[in-house]
Chain A
């Protein structure tokens, strides 16, 4: 039911984001969902002249995701939020809160997925 949706792989994230930037697309949001015990789904949503374009990437639990904050500075908050809430690490974040954007250091479980320990706070 979501129009303009394209499935991509983890290693294509940065390339696709660069293409979006070159095309003059504005980053709207990243939406992360836990698919099952082992996988997460991230939808990248872009806007150009009120038309949304999306790409979807499946991230296996324990895998890192490349950050697009170097391409879209606006991604830095939402990528930090996903680190906090889902425990997915983003490599290359321009401003990395080390999973303390919302959560305190003493929090030990990830809020948005069950039975998952929070990663150690990066200093």
Chain B
């Protein structure tokens, strides 16, 4: 049968960011998918040459808005390790609270987009309505809805008052109730199951070998989450990765759905266990040496490699983002899909192209 190349993206209704796939199809079956990147490459790593290590916090926060808190957290904890800085306990808990709020709003954003991808507009609306609670929390506690910009080298720049902590607990509890209210629709509805179950499946071995990260990896049965590294306050908070086993689009959705609820428990534990005290320590000197540090972003494992030379400018900042790791699995699971399933399959890895290209 003759093969046709069908372009998917860079502008497409299900893509919030520009990704182009050349889909080689026979009839309506995808035989091969070739990605084409470069639409939002900004050369942010290069900026380390002209922005000092403190200014770079603002740069890494802009690698991706949705993961901005986790980018700056990963960057700061790397610099702190290089410089031998031990941040106050309270700062670790505060970072945990904001990072889990970030995970919640990212997952709720994705769940809405995912529902939109298979044409379930009212479900999309419900997830985004719930997400507004988290965005309001971000704005009230940090001054910004998306890029909260709370991390500094040595701790955090913002504290939470007891009233704010109490309000956060009330709001996330309400968000939890509202998420559970649509649980049966998201996880059991005929349309959702029909469009997502068995689509774009990866086995445990495939996901691991292809270097998948985050929910894409855990949906295939690999219980790996960077929060197990016990960064921030995770050494004091009970945490088990959310794992599903079918490896398909549905399983990826379930992982994110359950993780959004799990984040509520983590926020509760972090607020109840948060000690009093300083939120940052003064930092003197400049970073020197090399470091590799990792955190779990909403989309998965994020790795920073940094090299300092004792000046205020880093020699190298290398950022390996989770979507970058999830593109090879995407290329691998596309062959055999029906053309109509491509939007759902692409969205199932939660592609963040501004992260990928930096």
A positions within 8 Å CB-CB of B:
1-2, 26-29, 31-33, 43, 45, 50, 52, 54, 72-74, 76-78, 95, 100-104, 111-112
Number of A-B residue pairs, CB cutoff 8 Å, is 75
Does the CB pair B211–A72 fall under 8 Å?
yes
| Distance from B172 Cβ to chain A, minimum over Cβ atoms (Å) | 28
Does the CB pair B229–A45 fall under 8 Å?
no
Give the chain B neighbours of A78 by CB distance below 8 A.
320, 324
Interface flags for B111-125 (1: CB within 8 Å of A; 0: not) read: 000000000000000
Does the CB pair A2–B37 fall under 8 Å?
no
Give the chain B neighbours of A29 by CB distance below 8 A.
303, 305, 318, 320
The answer, yes or no, to whether B312 is at the interface (CB within 8 Å) is no
Interface flags for B309-323 (1: CB within 8 Å of A; 0: not) read: 000000110101000
The answer, yes or no, to whether B328 is at the interface (CB within 8 Å) is yes
| Distance from B247 Cβ to chain A, minimum over Cβ atoms (Å) | 16
Do A33 and B38 contact each other (CB < 8 Å), given the known contacts A78-B324, A111-B43?
no
Complex formed: what's the CA distance from A33 to B38 in Å? 21
* Most chain B C-beta atoms within 10 Å of own C-beta, residue among A27, A54, A102: A102
* Most chain B C-beta atoms within 10 Å of own C-beta, residue among A32, A43, A77, A95: A77
The answer, yes or no, to whether B208 is at the interface (CB within 8 Å) is yes
Does the CB pair A28–B320 fall under 8 Å?
yes
Q: Quick one: which of B44-77 are within 8 Å of A by CB?
A: 45-46
* Most chain B C-beta atoms within 10 Å of own C-beta, residue among A1, A29, A45, A112: A29
Do A2 and B290 contact each other (CB < 8 Å), given the known contacts A27-B211, A29-B318, A73-B328?
yes
Does the CB pair B211–A1 fall under 8 Å?
no
A-B contact pairs, 7 of them (CB 8 A): A1-B81, A29-B305, A31-B316, A73-B332, A77-B324, A77-B327, A104-B38
Q: Quick one: which of B220-256 are within 8 Å of A by CB?
A: 224, 226, 228-229
Give the chain A neighbours of B316 by CB distance below 8 A.
31, 33
Complex formed: what's the CA distance from A6 to B327 in Å? 28
- Cβ-neighbour of B37 out of A28, A73, A102 (below 8 A): A102
Give the chain B neighbours of A52 by CB distance below 8 A.
292
Does the CB pair A28–B41 fall under 8 Å?
no
Do A112 and B46 contact each other (CB < 8 Å), given the known contacts A31-B318, A73-B328, A102-B38?
yes
| Distance from B10 Cβ to chain A, minimum over Cβ atoms (Å) | 13
| Distance from B68 Cβ to chain A, minimum over Cβ atoms (Å) | 20
The residue of chain A having its C-beta at the shortest distance from the C-beta of B43 within the complex is A111
Give the 6 A-B residue pairs with the shortest CB-CB distance, closest first.
A74-B211, A29-B320, A102-B41, A31-B305, A31-B318, A102-B38
Give the chain B neighbours of A50 by CB distance below 8 A.
224, 226, 228-229
The answer, yes or no, to whether B289 is at the interface (CB within 8 Å) is yes
Known contacts A1-B82, A1-B289, A33-B307; can you find 4 more A-B pairs with CB under 8 A? A26-B211, A29-B318, A45-B305, A77-B324
The residue of chain A having its C-beta at the shortest distance from the C-beta of B217 within the complex is A26
Does the CB pair A95–B34 fall under 8 Å?
yes
Complex formed: what's the CA distance from A112 to B38 in Å? 16
Give the chain A neighbours of B269 by CB distance below 8 A.
none
Does the CB pair B210–A73 fall under 8 Å?
yes
The answer, yes or no, to whether B169 is at the interface (CB within 8 Å) is no
Give the chain B neighbours of A74 by CB distance below 8 A.
209-211, 325, 328
The answer, yes or no, to whether B291 is at the interface (CB within 8 Å) is yes
Does the CB pair A101–B45 fall under 8 Å?
no
| Distance from A60 Cβ to chain B, minimum over Cβ atoms (Å) | 18
| Distance from A100 Cβ to chain B, minimum over Cβ atoms (Å) | 7
Does the CB pair A112–B45 fall under 8 Å?
yes
Does the CB pair A45–B211 fall under 8 Å?
no
Give the chain B neighbours of A26 by CB distance below 8 A.
208-209, 211
Does the CB pair A43–B38 fall under 8 Å?
no
Complex formed: what's the CA distance from A28 to B41 in Å? 21
